[in-house]
Structure 1
């Protein structure tokens, strides 16, 4: 194991064991290096690496802290990596979204409030029947984000947020290429919303699957 990897593992063990908790400040570099049996250089490299993936927060002139370790914070690194996807992997990202988002939509059935449903309905009304592709995609992102947040699962919410980049580009592409894309998307949004209002988890799951699969199927045939 490389020296830096060993240093990363030792800091990870401190966090997992509870020796360092979310929000805790790390001991001074010299003290921590001596405690862990590491050189200061290897410790410094480990801290730099862990700060890049949002495990640690280096505050200039103040010290180094363990972050909140909230899933949304930790999964931001995944979102960064996703943005570097190749065209030949976009279908794989969409397939993952097709697996996860219908489950989140079904979970939201029991938790989403009537006020949130009314707000979603109002946003659809504001879009009207002939929004631009850009307006539709922006509305689509917020529509799904609101529903996924209502699932009550922060990890699922963060994962789907991280996957939104390739999915967004695919939706814009379809919206520009297919004449029926706008009307179809609006119809499917209304169907999902109706299932949520009826508290019908299986119908919500089915409509979310249809909605996401339609983009995936179109892209598969195009590529």
Structure 2
């Protein structure tokens, strides 16, 4: 494993230094092994590991390429980790959301256009059928649109990856807490108004209140 870790570090160094960049093809295995002073086995294992986390793209019969290294691509591995969460860690995911989402909402208030805000307002009002599952789906999309509106791809990918584990808690709250869906709608609309009026501090505050409300309810429920 130590030799594989060393090989991973060497390839990473080539990318970080700019020796190879997004879309570039790696030298063939023999040449790369000789250049880096690595055995073919350790190099092969390193390439497999870097392909799993989407840093490299192995194309059979063509070679191995550096991917685009786009944040959403590299952060896909986060969803793999998130999928193994336990119910007792949902609060921790909500705590991270409470840190990230207010910042994203404030950024969105500085840059979202009228058309984007209109879409956000429709989502805030919720679907016509008003079922809990429909409301939660609209809720997830509402938060995703705000994260995208921040203009920060890394932040957007992180928030999107963290949303999954809290979905069940949102549905549970909607079905068991009286007035939860009404409060969610009111808070969503308050967030939209703050974004539409270019009030980042107010948008940040409403987002913090909104996420903290779910977190506090779940803390009591557990």
Per the normalisation by structure 1, the TM-score is 0.95
The alpha-carbon distance between structure 1 residues 69 and 212, as it changes in their structure 2 partners (threshold 3 A), is same
Count of residues in Structure 1 that have an aligned counterpart in Structure 2? 222
In structure 2, the gaps of 5 or more residues are none
Q: Is the 8 A contact 1:131 1:182 kept in 2?
A: no
Aligned to 2:58: 58
Q: Is the 8 A contact 2:125 2:185 kept in 1?
A: no
Deviations 1:42-77 (A, max 9, x none): 100000001111111111222111111111111110
Deviations 1:171-191 (A, max 9, x none): 112112213121111111111
RMSD of aligned alpha carbons? 1.3
How do 1:56-205 residues align onto structure 2 when only pairs under 5 Å count? 56-125=56-125, 127-128=127-128, 131-205=130-204
Q: Is the 8 A contact 2:126 2:135 kept in 1?
A: no
Q: Hey, what's the Cα distance between the residues in 1 that align with 2:126 and 2:31?
A: 59
Q: Is the 8 A contact 2:117 2:192 kept in 1?
A: yes
Aligned to 2:31: 31
Q: Hey, what's the Cα distance between the residues in 2 that align with 1:124 and 1:208?
A: 13
Q: Hey, what's the Cα distance between the residues in 2 that align with 1:10 and 1:200?
A: 46
In structure 1, the gaps of 5 or more residues are none
